[in-house]
Amino acid sequence: MSVRQIHLSAWLLVLLSAVLQMLIFPLPGVYVLSWVALAPLIVALLRARPAGELEVAGALRLRPASPGQAFLLAYVCGTLWYAGTCYWIYDTMRQYGGLSAAMAVTVLILFCCYLALYHGLFGLLLGLLADSSRDYRRVLAATPFVWVAVELARTRVTGFPWNLLGTAQVDNAALCRIAGWTGVYGISFEIVLVNVALAAAFLVPREKRGAMLAAALAAAAALQAGKLIQAPAARAGHKALLVQQNIPVAANWTPEYFQQTLSQLAEITVKSARDAANLDLIVWPESPAPFFTNDRRFRAVVSEMALRSKAWVVTGAIGAENAVAGGGKSQVFNSAALVSPNGDWTERYDKVHLVPFGEYLPFPKLFAFAGGLTKEVGEFGRGDSRAPLDAGGEKLGVFICYESIFPDEVRQFVTQGANVLVNVSNDGWYGDSGAYAQHLNQTRMRAIENNRWLLSVADTGVTASIDPWGRVTTHIPRKQRTTLVAPYGLTSITTFYSRHGDWFAYACAIISLGVLLTRLTSFRKAQEGHSSS
Question: Mind telling me the catalytic residues?
Answer: 286, 351, 401
In angstroms, rounded to a whole number, what is the distance separating the alpha carbons of residues 66 and 136?
A: 14
Buried/exposed code over 203-242 (b: 16+ C-beta within 10 A; e: otherwise): beeeeeeeebbeebbebbeebbebbeeeeeebebebbbbb
Residue 100 · residue 90 · CB < 8 Å: no
* Residue 469 per-residue DSSP state: T
Query: What proportions of the chain, in percent to the nearest 5, are helix, strand and coil?
Result: 55, 15, 30
Q: How far apart are CA 275 and CA 237, in angstroms?
A: 18
**Residue 264 CB neighbours (<10 A):** 12
Distances (CA, A) of 338 to 31, 313, 414, 417, 456: 38, 6, 18, 17, 16
Cβ-contact 446, 454 below 8 angstroms: yes
CB 479 within 8 A of CB 453: no
What secondary structure letter does DSSP report for 386?
-
| Distance from C-alpha of 464 to C-alpha of 473, rounded to nearest angstrom | 7
Distances 439 to 302, 434, 489 between C-alpha atoms, Å: 28, 9, 22
Radius of gyration of the chain (CA): 25
First-to-final CA distance of the chain = 28
451/411 Cα distance (integer angstroms): 10
List the beta bridge partners of residue 398. Answer: 422
Number of H helices, E strands in the chain: 17, 14
Residue 430, C-beta contacts closer than 8 angstroms, at least 6 positions apart: 88, 91, 92, 436, 439
| DSSP structure string for 402-454 | GGGG-HHHHHHHHHTT-SEEEEEE-GGGGTTSTHHHHHHHHHHHHHHHHT--E
- Tell me the residue type at 363: F
Alpha-carbon gap, residue 444 to 1, rounded angstroms: 43
Task: Please state, in angstroms and as integers, the Cα–Cα distance from residue 323 to each residue in 189, 315, 326, 348, 360, following that order.
Answer: 49, 24, 8, 18, 19
Distance between CA atoms of residues 480 and 491, nearest Å: 31
**How far, in Å, CA of 167 to CA of 187, rounded?**
8
Contact 413, 399 (CB under 8 A): yes
| Distance between CA atoms of residues 196 and 138, nearest Å | 12
Dist CA 230 CA 97 (whole Å): 44
